[in-house]
Amino acid sequence: MAMEDVTGRPPPKNAMPISPIGWARRNLFSSVGNTILTLLSLYLLWLLVPPFVDFTIFSAVWTGTTREACLVPDAGACWPFVWANIDQFIYGRYPPSEIWRVNLTFALGAAVIIPMLIPGLPARKLNLVFLLVVYPLVALVLLAGDRPGLPPVPTSEWGGLLVTLVVAITGIVASLPLGVLLALGRRSDMPAIRMLSIIFIEFWRGVPLVTVLFMASVMLPLFLPEGFSPDNLLRCLVGVALFSSAYMAEVVRGGLQAIPAGQYEAARAVGLTYWQAMMQVVLPQALRHVIPGIVNTFIGLFKDTTLVLIVGLFDLLGQVRAQLSDPNWTVPQGALTGYIFAALVFWAFCFGMSQYSNFMERRLDTSRER
Amino acid sequence: MKNPLVALLVGILIGVGGLYFFLPYDPLSLGSGQVDTSSPAAGDGQERASAGDTLRRVKQRGFLQCGVSQGLPGFSNPDERGNWSGIDVDFCRAIAAAIFGDGSKVRFRPLSAKDRFTALQSGEIDILSRNTTWTMSRDTQLGFDFVGVTYYDGQSFMVRKAAGITSTKDLAGGTICTETGTTTELNLADYFRSRGLSYKVLSFEKNDEAIVAYDRGRCDAYTTDASGLYAQRLKLTDPDANMVLSDIISKEPLGPAVRQGDPQWEDIARWTLNALLNAEELGVTSENVDEMLVSDNPRIRRLLGREGAYGEAVGLGPDWAVHAIRAVGNYGEMFERNVGTETPLGIKRGLNALWNEGGVQYAPPVR
């Protein structure tokens, strides 16, 4: 859309102001085909948007404390259902007296991750170490407890957004380093490492995530001795991390292939070791090329967390569905309201990730390179 | 070069310090379905369950592990404060109360229909109280035993009151909405074919779709288990204009199940249910149970542990039934509180009334 700035001069903006009619004529009604498409799109929007806005905003019930509030004729979304269950949606059945621990974990996570995301802040490496080493342990102890002053909270009582974030962030944090290693392994000269990487990647890419989770939750306990079974959430985390690292490996490999072999050879020629050459010359360029692919994988992973429902864990969507079964809140429009709420939350997270990736791309300026 | 090195060192220091602090912690035992691994017998794993084993493990752990559904209105559903409620849930609370004297010493493990049996077989849960139909194949082939019937369910039909349909015969030639791939579809075919009645079926993938189709008048009736019909009715735009037929076309006795091979545990579960039923028959409620302790009625005295050693016979204290009744009330209270006519579900007792009040709930006596 924007004109390429070749000469260094700013493009001639608004040299001749275009009226809305002129704009529409040029962009929407330039040919018979375009006119038909425009009218069709407008008609579709007319069909979809007004009822949606009406349902979610204008005819929606906003206040109330019981289901009776939503039982008025022609009522839209039943938001009181969401307000009343908001704690369940965020924390699941985490004991109310211990919820501060979840909040503290969220706050700590935000305090660590947000400075990481802002370019140009100091101590980012220290922050990275903290994020990868210290924070997971602190979060584990805070959330699971079983320490002096922190009564244990079994993972079966975690739920809602908490589970979604735990699964997604673990998957995201674990899959990037694992994926890079696997991608390097697949391009390695050493046959054993290459074979192992290929087998690993192709195995995990070849099975659906549902199967992985189902195996982990249903089959694994039958093989293990009675009474001994790793925690359900832990099983899921391992499954999700391995699964997403295989996808990540292929994304990173795509980036590696875009780097001419001369880069690596030149790095070796000036005396860098294999790891130095990879870490300082090849990977920084390769990863920059595949930011959209990486973020795409992250977003996919974030949404895939809803699959943990089949192993008895309630993520945000699962918790919404569980609360819908409460007869004290069963109303005709309840399911639709709950699903719209879940969709908004998921959309907010995924859109945020996508926007950040756009920002990073612009900042790293990859699009200008060629 | 200096800065990242310092950063790395600090990171490693913090990491090691953290690890040291967390070392005694075993992430494998953090979850829900685990026994205390320090117990000597937990690891031998030779026998899947032996007499007295389950009770001992439950007592050692300090709470009961109860498998429930992921949300079924009136049977096991979380409320807005995250507490579980429902008949299936209350039954587990009653067992916990019978064992520990405290109905809150139970943890609920929500299970999908697919992983419920594995969870019981593998010992992740002590009892499966999850609206499971008692059938011969499940009882004989899956390695566990049903201990009774907490709710007599059966497939029925919901129709519009204005349509003037009063029994299944009036449905001949009509269109019926249901879900695909469930036994309800099969039962429907069997029932109508054996009576030579014609009907049209409209199947949907999800019950939410089926109920919307019914609500919009695309079919004359909607069929699923009766308990589900009452729950689905709340999703209609005008629930009061619809009714559930009293005809039942299939038998779905829902009951709790335990692992085979531990007769004592089986007895505890079976007799807790029987105690709740007997309490209703004898008029013992959660409110009057303390006054009933001094009752002269020998049947009440035996139930409440004033005479005989019935609790001790299953490895519990003499007050086992008193605790259970105090925690959840008798069977009737449990029913009325969760699904009864005062709740949004509004289910009448029907088959689930006591045998002397027109139902089929009949408990052997405590004697």
Asked if the Cβ–Cβ distance from A314 to B344 is below 8 Å, we say no
pLDDT at B205 over 70: yes
Test A231 with B4 for CB contact under 8 angstroms. no
Does any domain span residue A11? no
Please answer yes or no on whether A229 and B8 come within 8 Å at the CB atom: no
Q: Provide, as residue numbers in chain A, all residues whose Cβ is less than 8 Å from the Cβ of B35.
A: 227
CB-based contact, B31 to chain A, within 8 Å = yes
- H/E stretch holding B212 reads helix B207-215
State how far the Cα of A58 lies from the Cα of A169, in Å rounded to an integer.
36
Pairwise CB contact (< 8 Å): A325 & B73? yes
Instruction: Domain B155-244: give its CATH architecture.
Output: 3-Layer(aba) Sandwich (3.40)
Among A57-61, B44-48, B216-220, B363-367, name the one with the lowest average pLDDT: B44-48
Task: Give the tens place of pLDDT for each residue, B148-157.
Answer: 999 999 999 9
Share of chain B above pLDDT 70, in %: 89
Q: Is the dihedral of CA B274, B275, B281, B286 positive or negative?
A: negative
Averaged pLDDT, A305-309: 88
DSSP state letter for A313: -
> A2-6, A218-222, B110-114 — which one is most confidently predicted on average?
B110-114
User: For residue A91, which of A166, A177, A3, A170 has the smallest C-alpha distance?
Assistant: A166
User: How high does pLDDT run on average in chain A?
Assistant: 86
Distance from CA of B358 to the nearest CA of A (A): 27
pLDDT(B38) > 60? no
How far apart CA B202 and CA B76 sit, in angstroms, is 29
Residue of A nearest to B49 (CA): A226
- Average pLDDT value for residue range A364-370: 57
Write out chain B residues lying below 8 Å of A130, CB-based. 11, 14
Contact check, Cβ <8 Å, B80/A84:
yes
Q: Taking residues B255-260, what's their average pLDDT?
A: 93
CB contact under 8 A, B18 and A133: yes
**Are A233 and B31 in contact (CB < 8 Å)?**
yes
Chain A CB contacts of B4 under 8 Å are 125
Q: Which two tokens stand for residue B360?
A: 């089929």
A101 is a domain residue:
no
Predicted pLDDT of residue B104: 92
Amino acid making up residue B355: W
Q: What is the pLDDT of residue A8?
A: 59
SS3 A123: coil
Q: Decide: residue A370, CB within 10 A, 0-12 exposed, 13-18 middle, 19+ buried.
A: exposed
The answer to whether B110 contacts chain A (CB < 8 Å) is yes
> Would A291 be classed as within a structural domain?
yes
Answer yes or no: is pLDDT of B127 > 70. yes
* B16-37 average pLDDT score: 48
A94-98, B2-6, B7-11, B327-331: which is most confident? B327-331
Q: Quick one: pLDDT at residue B47?
A: 41
Give how far B146 is from chain A: nearest CA, Å.
Answer: 20
Is the Cβ pair A133, B57 closer than 8 Å?
A: no
The confidence score (pLDDT) of residue A160 equals 92
The verdict on a CB contact (< 8 Å) between B344 and A328 is: yes
More confident site: A26 or B76: B76
User: What domain range includes position A306?
Assistant: 80-94+153-368
Q: A144 CA to chain B: closest CA distance, Å? A: 7
Task: Give how many domains chain A has, as a whole number.
Answer: 1
B123 vs A222, more confident: B123
Answer whether residue A3 shows pLDDT above 80: no
Closest approach of chain A CAs to the CA of B103, in angstroms? 17
Question: Would you call B178 helix, strand, or coil by DSSP?
Answer: strand
* Assigned domain for A136 exists: no
Task: Kindly tell me the number of DSSP H helices and DSSP E strands found in chain A.
Answer: 18, 0
Domain range B52-152+252-357, CATH architecture: 3-Layer(aba) Sandwich (3.40)
Q: Which of A79-83, A93-97, B119-123 has the highest mean pLDDT?
A: A79-83
Q: How confident is the model at residue A26 (pLDDT cuts 50, 70, 90)?
A: confident
| The two three-digit tokens of residue B204, written as one number | 């949907």
Which residue, A221, A102, A350, A234, is CA-closest to B48? A221
User: Hey, are the CB atoms on A141 and B25 less than 8 Å from each other?
Assistant: yes
User: Hey, which bits of A1-71 come out as E strands?
Assistant: none
Q: Looking at residues B209-228, what average pLDDT do you find?
A: 90
With a cut of 70, say whether residue B71 has pLDDT above it.
yes
CA angle, A145 then A147 then A150, to 5°: 55
**What is the band of B97 on the pLDDT scale with cuts at 50, 70, 90?**
very high
Size of interface A-B (CB pairs under 8 A): 198
Question: How high is the pLDDT of residue B30?
Answer: 42
Rounded to a whole number, what is the distance in Å from the CA of A92 to chain B's nearest CA?
7
The model's pLDDT over A243-292, given as tens digits with 9 standing for 90+, comes to 999 999 999 999 999 999 999 999 999 999 999 999 999 998 998 889 88
Is B52-152+252-357's fold the same as B155-244's? yes
Q: Do A130 and B119 touch (CB under 8 A)?
A: no
CB-closest option in B35, B234, B237 to A330: B234
Interface of B with A in 231-260 (CB under 8 A): 231, 234-237
CATH number of the structural domain spanning residue A342: 1.10.3720.10
- Please report whether residue A69 resides in a domain: no
DSSP string, B105-166: -EEEEE--TTTHHHHHHTTS-SEEEEEEE--HHHHHHSSEEE---SEEE-EEEEEEGGGT--
DSSP states of A53-85:
HIIIIIS-B---SSGGGG-STT---BHHHHHHT
